Protein backbone atom coordinates (compact mmCIF):
# COMPACT_ATOMS: atom_id res chain seq x y z
CA UNK A 1 0.00 0.00 0.00
CA UNK A 2 1.41 3.33 -0.93
CA UNK A 3 0.34 6.87 -1.51
CA UNK A 4 1.78 10.07 -2.85
CA UNK A 5 2.00 12.74 -0.14
CA UNK A 6 -0.52 15.51 -0.54
CA UNK A 7 1.29 18.75 0.07
CA UNK A 8 -1.72 21.04 0.00
CA UNK A 9 -3.43 19.15 2.82
CA UNK A 10 -0.29 18.54 4.91
CA UNK A 11 0.98 22.08 5.27
CA UNK A 12 -1.92 23.12 7.48
CA UNK A 13 -0.09 21.36 10.31
CA UNK A 14 2.31 23.76 11.96
CA UNK A 15 4.38 21.59 14.27
CA UNK A 16 6.55 19.93 11.65
CA UNK A 17 10.30 19.70 12.18
CA UNK A 18 11.07 19.06 8.53
CA UNK A 19 9.08 20.31 5.59
CA UNK A 20 9.76 19.76 1.90
CA UNK A 21 7.82 21.98 -0.47
CA UNK A 22 8.48 21.18 -4.12
CA UNK A 23 12.12 20.38 -3.37
CA UNK A 24 14.32 19.18 -6.21
CA UNK A 25 18.03 18.58 -6.08
CA UNK A 26 20.83 18.19 -8.56
CA UNK A 27 24.58 18.52 -8.03
CA UNK A 28 25.96 21.14 -10.40
CA UNK A 29 24.97 20.32 -13.94
CA UNK A 30 24.44 16.65 -13.13
CA UNK A 31 21.19 14.73 -13.32
CA UNK A 32 18.33 15.50 -10.99
CA UNK A 33 18.70 13.40 -7.85
CA UNK A 34 15.48 14.40 -6.11
CA UNK A 35 12.35 15.54 -7.94
CA UNK A 36 9.66 17.81 -6.59
CA UNK A 37 9.39 16.35 -3.08
CA UNK A 38 6.48 17.45 -0.89
CA UNK A 39 6.30 16.02 2.59
CA UNK A 40 6.89 16.88 6.19
CA UNK A 41 7.94 15.11 9.34
CA UNK A 42 6.18 15.58 12.63
CA UNK A 43 8.20 15.87 15.83
CA UNK A 44 8.80 12.47 17.37
CA UNK A 45 8.05 10.55 14.20
CA UNK A 46 10.11 7.54 13.08
CA UNK A 47 10.60 6.66 9.41
CA UNK A 48 12.74 4.52 7.25
CA UNK A 49 13.91 5.64 3.85
CA UNK A 50 14.23 2.85 1.37
CA UNK A 51 15.02 2.60 -2.28
CA UNK A 52 17.60 1.24 -4.67
CA UNK A 53 21.13 2.60 -4.81
CA UNK A 54 21.20 6.02 -6.44
CA UNK A 55 17.58 6.70 -5.58
CA UNK A 56 18.47 9.83 -3.63
CA UNK A 57 18.39 8.55 -0.03
CA UNK A 58 21.75 10.01 0.93
CA UNK A 59 20.98 13.31 -0.78
CA UNK A 60 17.69 13.54 1.12
CA UNK A 61 19.58 13.07 4.40
CA UNK A 62 22.23 15.59 3.36
CA UNK A 63 19.53 18.16 2.73
CA UNK A 64 17.91 17.63 6.13
CA UNK A 65 21.29 17.64 7.88
CA UNK A 66 22.03 21.03 6.26
CA UNK A 67 25.05 19.61 4.44
CA UNK A 68 23.52 20.71 1.12
CA UNK A 69 20.89 23.13 -0.12
CA UNK A 70 18.03 22.28 -2.46
CA UNK A 71 18.51 23.49 -6.00
CA UNK A 72 14.80 24.13 -6.27
CA UNK A 73 11.83 24.43 -3.90
CA UNK A 74 11.66 25.28 -0.23
CA UNK A 75 13.02 23.18 2.61
CA UNK A 76 12.32 24.09 6.21
CA UNK A 77 14.08 22.50 9.15
CA UNK A 78 12.83 23.47 12.61
CA UNK A 79 10.64 26.02 10.83
CA UNK A 80 13.56 27.78 9.17
CA UNK A 81 14.09 28.07 5.43
CA UNK A 82 17.46 26.40 4.92
CA UNK A 83 18.19 28.57 1.85
CA UNK A 84 18.16 31.61 4.10
CA UNK A 85 20.47 30.19 6.74
CA UNK A 86 23.76 31.98 7.19
CA UNK A 87 27.10 30.74 8.51
CA UNK A 88 26.06 32.24 11.83
CA UNK A 89 22.59 30.69 12.09
CA UNK A 90 23.29 27.28 10.51
CA UNK A 91 25.52 25.81 13.27
CA UNK A 92 22.87 26.23 15.96
CA UNK A 93 20.43 24.14 13.91
CA UNK A 94 23.09 21.54 13.12
CA UNK A 95 23.68 21.03 16.81
CA UNK A 96 20.06 19.89 17.09
CA UNK A 97 20.58 17.24 14.41
CA UNK A 98 22.54 14.02 14.82
CA UNK A 99 23.80 12.37 11.65
CA UNK A 100 25.32 8.97 10.94
CA UNK A 101 26.85 9.35 7.51
CA UNK A 102 27.36 6.37 5.26
CA UNK A 103 31.07 7.23 5.01
CA UNK A 104 31.07 7.66 8.83
CA UNK A 105 33.40 10.71 8.77
CA UNK A 106 35.33 9.76 11.88
CA UNK A 107 38.34 11.90 12.75
CA UNK A 108 41.32 9.57 12.48
CA UNK A 109 43.60 11.67 14.71
CA UNK A 110 41.19 11.52 17.65
CA UNK A 111 40.55 8.59 19.96
CA UNK A 112 37.23 6.80 20.10
CA UNK A 113 36.34 8.79 23.20
CA UNK A 114 37.31 12.12 21.62
CA UNK A 115 35.31 11.30 18.49
CA UNK A 116 32.23 10.42 20.48
CA UNK A 117 32.52 13.53 22.65
CA UNK A 118 32.99 15.88 19.69
CA UNK A 119 29.43 17.32 19.44
CA UNK A 120 29.32 17.97 23.18
CA UNK A 121 32.67 19.68 23.06
CA UNK A 122 31.62 21.85 20.12
CA UNK A 123 28.42 22.80 21.91
CA UNK A 124 30.60 24.37 24.59
CA UNK A 125 29.97 21.96 27.44
CA UNK A 126 32.77 21.37 29.88
CA UNK A 127 34.39 17.94 29.96
CA UNK A 128 33.56 17.09 33.61
CA UNK A 129 29.87 17.55 32.78
CA UNK A 130 29.72 14.96 30.03
CA UNK A 131 32.61 12.53 30.12
CA UNK A 132 30.75 9.96 32.19
CA UNK A 133 27.79 10.13 29.80
CA UNK A 134 30.11 9.55 26.86
CA UNK A 135 31.74 6.60 28.58
CA UNK A 136 28.33 5.11 29.39
CA UNK A 137 27.14 5.53 25.80
CA UNK A 138 30.30 3.96 24.39
CA UNK A 139 29.87 1.02 26.70
CA UNK A 140 26.29 0.70 25.58
CA UNK A 141 27.28 0.45 21.90
CA UNK A 142 29.94 -2.11 22.79
CA UNK A 143 33.00 0.13 22.65
CA UNK A 144 33.64 0.29 26.39
CA UNK A 145 36.96 -1.47 25.96
CA UNK A 146 38.09 0.64 23.00
CA UNK A 147 37.61 4.15 24.35
CA UNK A 148 41.26 5.16 23.99
CA UNK A 149 41.75 3.33 20.67
CA UNK A 150 42.22 5.19 17.42
CA UNK A 151 39.54 4.74 14.73
CA UNK A 152 41.96 3.13 12.28
CA UNK A 153 42.34 0.19 14.67
CA UNK A 154 38.59 -0.46 14.79
CA UNK A 155 36.75 -3.02 12.72
CA UNK A 156 34.08 -1.80 10.28
CA UNK A 157 31.21 -2.52 12.64
CA UNK A 158 32.99 -0.80 15.53
CA UNK A 159 33.53 2.30 13.43
CA UNK A 160 29.86 2.30 12.56
CA UNK A 161 28.90 2.06 16.23
CA UNK A 162 31.26 4.91 17.04
CA UNK A 163 29.65 7.05 14.34
CA UNK A 164 26.25 6.27 15.85
CA UNK A 165 27.46 7.12 19.35
CA UNK A 166 28.74 10.47 18.09
CA UNK A 167 25.44 11.17 16.36
CA UNK A 168 23.29 10.51 19.42
CA UNK A 169 25.56 11.70 22.22
CA UNK A 170 24.00 15.15 22.50
CA UNK A 171 20.40 13.84 22.35
CA UNK A 172 19.55 15.40 18.99
CA UNK A 173 16.00 16.44 18.15
CA UNK A 174 16.41 14.94 14.69
CA UNK A 175 18.45 11.79 14.17
CA UNK A 176 19.44 10.91 10.62
CA UNK A 177 21.25 7.69 9.81
CA UNK A 178 22.47 6.44 6.46
CA UNK A 179 22.79 2.67 6.44
CA UNK A 180 23.66 2.62 10.17
CA UNK A 181 23.58 -1.15 10.51
CA UNK A 182 25.28 -2.06 7.24
CA UNK A 183 28.46 -3.41 8.80
CA UNK A 184 27.20 -4.89 12.07
CA UNK A 185 25.86 -8.32 12.82
CA UNK A 186 22.17 -8.96 13.27
CA UNK A 187 22.28 -8.90 17.05
CA UNK A 188 24.14 -5.56 17.14
CA UNK A 189 21.81 -4.19 14.46
CA UNK A 190 18.85 -4.87 16.71
CA UNK A 191 20.66 -3.39 19.68
CA UNK A 192 21.41 -0.20 17.73
CA UNK A 193 17.86 -0.11 16.47
CA UNK A 194 16.67 -0.19 20.07
CA UNK A 195 18.90 2.81 20.72
CA UNK A 196 17.18 4.68 17.90
CA UNK A 197 13.78 3.64 19.24
CA UNK A 198 14.72 4.80 22.72
CA UNK A 199 15.83 8.19 21.41
CA UNK A 200 12.59 8.37 19.45
CA UNK A 201 10.66 7.55 22.61
CA UNK A 202 12.45 10.46 24.29
CA UNK A 203 11.17 12.76 21.57
CA UNK A 204 13.69 12.63 18.72
CA UNK A 205 12.47 12.55 15.14
CA UNK A 206 14.25 9.61 13.52
CA UNK A 207 14.91 9.01 9.85
CA UNK A 208 16.93 5.97 8.82
CA UNK A 209 18.02 5.14 5.29
CA UNK A 210 18.52 1.41 4.92
CA UNK A 211 18.61 -1.51 2.57
CA UNK A 212 17.84 -3.88 5.44
CA UNK A 213 14.33 -4.97 4.48
CA UNK A 214 14.21 -7.39 7.39
CA UNK A 215 14.77 -4.52 9.85
CA UNK A 216 12.11 -2.45 8.11
CA UNK A 217 9.64 -5.29 8.15
CA UNK A 218 10.15 -6.09 11.82
CA UNK A 219 10.14 -2.52 13.05
CA UNK A 220 6.58 -1.69 12.12
CA UNK A 221 7.46 1.85 11.08
CA UNK A 222 6.32 3.90 8.08
CA UNK A 223 8.65 4.05 5.12
CA UNK A 224 9.53 6.76 2.63
CA UNK A 225 10.40 4.97 -0.56
CA UNK A 226 12.56 6.74 -3.09
CA UNK A 227 12.98 5.67 -6.65
CA UNK A 228 14.65 7.80 -9.32
CA UNK A 229 14.30 10.85 -7.09
CA UNK A 230 10.56 10.50 -6.53
CA UNK A 231 8.99 9.55 -3.22
CA UNK A 232 6.13 7.35 -2.18
CA UNK A 233 5.05 6.70 1.38
CA UNK A 234 4.38 3.27 2.78
CA UNK A 235 2.62 3.52 6.12
CA UNK A 236 3.42 1.10 8.87
CA UNK A 237 1.06 -1.83 8.97
CA UNK A 238 -2.04 -0.93 10.90
CA UNK A 239 -1.39 2.80 11.31
CA UNK A 240 -0.93 6.07 9.44
CA UNK A 241 2.33 7.12 7.95
CA UNK A 242 3.23 9.46 10.79
CA UNK A 243 4.09 12.06 8.27
CA UNK A 244 1.68 14.38 6.80
Partner 1 sequence: MSAFDPARWRPAPLLPEGGGTAALLFVVATLCFLACLTAIGVVASDRAARGWIGQLGGEATVIVRPKRGETPDAAAARAAEALAGVAGVSEARALEPQKAYDLIRPWLGDVSDLEDLPVPRMVTVALDPKAPADAARLSQALKSQDVDASVDDHSLWIKDIRRAANLARALGAGVFLLIAGAAGAAVAFATQAGLAARRDVVEVLHLSGAEDSYVAGLFQRRFARMAALGGVAGAAIAAGIAATLRLAGGAQGLTPALPIAWSDLLVVIACPLIAALVAAVAARLTATALLRDME
Site residues (CB under 8 A) for partner 1? 65, 67, 87-88, 90-92, 94-95, 99, 101, 105, 107-111, 113-114, 117-119, 121-123, 127, 131-132, 134-135, 144-149, 166
In the complex, the smallest distance separating the C-beta of residue 186 from partner 1, rounded to whole angstroms, is: 26
d(Cα 197, Cα 206) in Å, to the nearest integer? 8
In the complex, the smallest distance separating the C-beta of residue 112 from partner 1, rounded to whole angstroms, is: 9
One-character DSSP codes across 145-156: GGTTS-GGGS-H
In the complex, the smallest distance separating the C-beta of residue 19 from partner 1, rounded to whole angstroms, is: 21
- Count the Cβ atoms, other than its own, within 10 Å of residue 182: 14
Residue number with CB closer to partner 1 (56 or 98): 98
36-49 exposure pattern, b = at least 16 Cβ within 10 A, e = fewer: bbbbbbbebbbbbb
Residue number with CB closer to partner 1 (15 or 81): 81
Residue number with CB closer to partner 1 (29 or 126): 126
In the complex, the smallest distance separating the C-beta of residue 127 from partner 1, rounded to whole angstroms, is: 6
d(Cα 36, Cα 21) in Å, to the nearest integer? 8
Query: Which stretches of 101-212 are DSSP H helices?
Result: 112-122, 131-140, 156-168, 186-201
In the complex, the smallest distance separating the C-beta of residue 120 from partner 1, rounded to whole angstroms, is: 10
Exposed, middle or buried, 223 (CB in 10 Å: 0-12/13-18/19+)?
Answer: buried
CA 17 to chain centre: 13
Nearest to 169 by CA among 147, 190, 145: 147
Residue number with CB closer to partner 1 (14 or 126): 126
Residue number with CB closer to partner 1 (1 or 88): 88
Amino acid sequence: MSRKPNAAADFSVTDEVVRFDGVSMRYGDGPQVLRDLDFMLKPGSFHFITGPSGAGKTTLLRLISLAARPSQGRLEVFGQDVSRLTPKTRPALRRRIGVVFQELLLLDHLSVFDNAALPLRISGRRAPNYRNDVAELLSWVGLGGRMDSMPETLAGGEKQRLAIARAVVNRPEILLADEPTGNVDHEMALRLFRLFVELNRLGATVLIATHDQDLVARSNRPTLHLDQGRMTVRPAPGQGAGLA
